[in-house]
Structure 1
Amino acid sequence: VKSWAFIPSDKVNEKSIKEKVDYYRMIDEGYCFACGEEVVDYGFIEEFVMNLEVEYGVNIVAIGYDRFNCISTANKLEAEGYTCIEVRQHSSVLHPATKLIEESILNGKFKYSRNQLYEINFANCKVAYDTNLNKYVSKKKSNGKIDMVVSTIIATYLLNIEMIESLNDFVIQTI
């Protein structure tokens, strides 16, 4: 996993004090990008996403997004040829991905590009359970920002969908 955060340029000092995170250092380390003034510049984020394939030599199969504040960006990315999938922020949807990440961490199989801000996001997370005992990361119960972890859960959700769909290409026969 390689994850980044985005912060409004005019809010770096305020958020550093409020969240007790040195965002100036996080920006210097490349874990976070200051863009926009009072709100993040979604144009910057869109360009960032569209440059990932060239920058890292990867192929973007799909982009998962939370409907909140992202519909315009998803539409722009789709216009550029990307597949964008809305991922409902509900425990019944996110439970399998959350569980898979937890198991990967506990089994020592979860790998990520060293990033102190990402680690802070993980430390902030609090897991909750719904009435069906589906596990999810609760923004309301968490102690600070967890957006980088939530984006990893969304990406894992999409990875699971891709893996399940690829199984449809196989035929299993038993005798």
Structure 2
Amino acid sequence: MPMDTWEKCAHPVDPDLLKGRVCFGGLDLSSTTDITAFVLVFPPVEGDDKYYVLPYFWLPEETLDLRVRRDHVPYDIWRQQGYLLTTEGNVIHYGFIKKFIEDLGQDYNIQEIAFDRWGAVQMVQNLEGAGFTVVPFGQGFKDMSPPTKELMKLALEKRIAHGGHPVLSWMMDNIHIRTDPAGNIKPDKAKSTEKIDGAVAMIMALYRCIRHKGVSEKSVYDERGLLAF
């Protein structure tokens, strides 16, 4: 979506005010050396029609400086500012992330966690063992198109609140959207300019919100077409 549309959704997000609220998670696990993203989306409540977004990102501690130099991305600054977390060593520590999600579950009422099936078997088993409901989420047009369109609609209506999170905003700016002949859309990781894991995790979490809130999957984009990214 146009970044000015996304930036107009930088409504404040106070994690403390969201404690105890129902929410849905999206988990996009990386390879062991790449960014892992976990995003919570909080559906509207009476008197507040916004969807609040709480994103979390991890990289291996020992590869951070190399990535800053190689990718020319300010991962080190984001970590200093608290927008990016690291796990010990030179690979992602999935046990740390599982414990982090467990701790989030103490503060927030996480109804479900949607996950990309790729490479997530052990983490899914661990989260299920911790008492979470985990739901597989396909990355094809069938699953990704409805929530991607809904995200665009909600952003145009300024009903997404992301607090201006710089890592998530960077990923939103990286997205390349692919369209099939039937007009279905989805983020295309292969053709996106850089990492989009957080955006994908947010879309998965939003879909679970939609399913549980009874929000129509029909979008304004079904009638008028897609705005250019």
TM-score range, shorter chain: 0.7 to 0.9
Report the Cα distance in structure 1 between the residues aligned to 2:97 and 2:176, rounded to whole angstroms: 27
Larger relative contact order, structure 1 or 2 (CA cutoff 8 Å, min sep 6): 2
Residue 162 (structure 1) aligned with residue 212 (structure 2): yes
Number of residue-to-residue matches in the alignment = 163
Q: Which residue of 1 aligns with 2:124?
A: 74
Report the Cα distance in structure 2 between the residues aligned to 1:66 and 1:76, rounded to whole angstroms: 15
Report the Cα distance in structure 1 between the residues aligned to 2:212 and 2:169, rounded to whole angstroms: 27
Residue 27 (structure 1) aligned with residue 79 (structure 2): yes
Give, in angstroms, the shift of residue 117 of structure 1: 1.0
Residue 85 (structure 1) aligned with residue 143 (structure 2): no
Residue 10 (structure 1) aligned with residue 62 (structure 2): yes
Q: Supply the AA of the counterpart residue of 1:51.
A: D
Please identify runs of 4+ aligned residues in structure 1 that moved more than 6 A.
none
Q: Which residue of 1 aligns with 2:103?
A: 51
Structure number with bigger Rg: 1
**3-state SS in 1 of match to 2:111:** coil
- In structure 1, stretches of 5+ residues that fail to align are 166-175
Cα pair 1:126 1:142 within 8 Å, conserved: yes
* RMSD, aligned CA: 1.5
More helix as a share of residues: 1
Cα pair 1:19 1:144 within 8 Å, conserved: no
Q: Which residue of 2 aligns with 1:65?
A: 115
- In structure 2, stretches of 5+ residues that fail to align are 1-52, 216-229
Give, in angstroms, the shift of residue 152 of structure 1: 0.2
Give, in angstroms, the shift of residue 4 of structure 1: 1.4
